[in-house]
Amino acid sequence: MTCPPLHVTFLGTGTSGGVPMIACDCLVCSSDDSRDKRLRSSILIRSATTTLVVDTGPDFRYQMLRKNVRHLDAVLFTHPHKDHLAGLDDIRAYNHFGQRPMQVFADSLTQEALRRDFYYVFTETRYPGIPELELQTIAESPFWVGDIPVQPIQVWHHRMPVLGFRFGSFTYITDANRIEEEERNKIRGSEVLVLNALRKEPHLSHFTLDEAISLIQTLQVPRGYLTHLSHQMGLHASVAAALPKGIELAYDGLELHFPAN
């Protein structure tokens, strides 16, 4: 799938509680380093003609305002946990100014959660001003959002199937602790792999720091970025200094550029 030049912005790189975490006085949550302040995980992807976001967490409104995103073509969802979909109601601003429904791409499990959590969007009696959505079902096959090609990648978040996405040479995976070999083959050949790394200690449903590093190296992806980080990971500056060559901690506002391929 030929991919146009892409611009990727990390809107948020934190775990479900964000960093700083409410009521926490730990070293990370008290840090003055802007890289230690993490909204819930999401990315913005732009080509010359298309703009999309992956996930609309509780910080979605602020993320859009902070980056002055005035136009949005579509939302892609990875899975139905609240820290990845709770901000969807604020899509109605784009409905208003764009005068059209928002294209929303999700698997059947996530669509079920959307219909439950945002029930008022899908009722026959529609209240004025509610979000207008056009649900598109993601399966295994690649698809296009405008001129941006999307390859879904199924990963596992303990027992929950989660979608990662490959856009040309850029692959984004969050909330995972296991990836089957067939799906790993879809990642191979990427120039950049973004992977969740919750903390250093083992976790039921997330890769640890060492596990994420090992997977990036096993797949021989030249550049890796770690996201969905908790305050338990440690200070950005300290952790970053100890990472192997080619692997970095992502941070809110980080921007990456990819030529056409």
Residue 1 has pLDDT above 80, yes or no: no
What CATH number has the domain bearing residue 201?
3.60.15.10
Domain count, the chain: 1
pLDDT of res. 125: 83
CA separation for the pair 19, 38 (Å, rounded): 5
- Residue predicted with more confidence, 261 or 126: 261
pLDDT exceeds cutoff 90 at 126 = no
What's the pLDDT tens digit per position in 131-163?
999 999 999 999 999 999 999 999 999 999 999
Question: How much of the chain exceeds pLDDT 90, in percent?
Answer: 96
Question: Does residue 162 form part of some domain?
Answer: yes
Q: Has residue 1 been placed in a domain?
A: no
pLDDT at 127: 82
Q: What is the pLDDT of residue 128?
A: 84
Average predicted confidence (pLDDT) for the chain: 97
Is 256 among the domain residues? no
- Domain around 79: 6-251
Query: Does 23 reside within a domain?
Result: yes
Stretch 52-68: mean pLDDT: 98
Quick check: is 258 in a domain?
no
The 10s digit of each residue's pLDDT in 3-59 is: 999 999 999 999 999 999 999 999 999 999 999 999 999 999 999 999 999 999 999
CB of 249 within 8 A of CB of 36?
A: no
| Inter-residue contact 56 to 90 (CB < 8 Å) | yes
Given a contact cutoff of 8 angstroms between Cβ atoms, the answer to whether 86 and 59 are in contact is no
In the chain, % of residues over pLDDT 70: 100
Residue 261 covered by a domain: no
At 39 the pLDDT is: 98
Q: Band of the pLDDT at 198, cuts 50, 70, 90?
A: very high
| Contact residues for 256 (Cβ-Cβ < 8 A; gap 6+) | 7, 8, 170, 192, 225
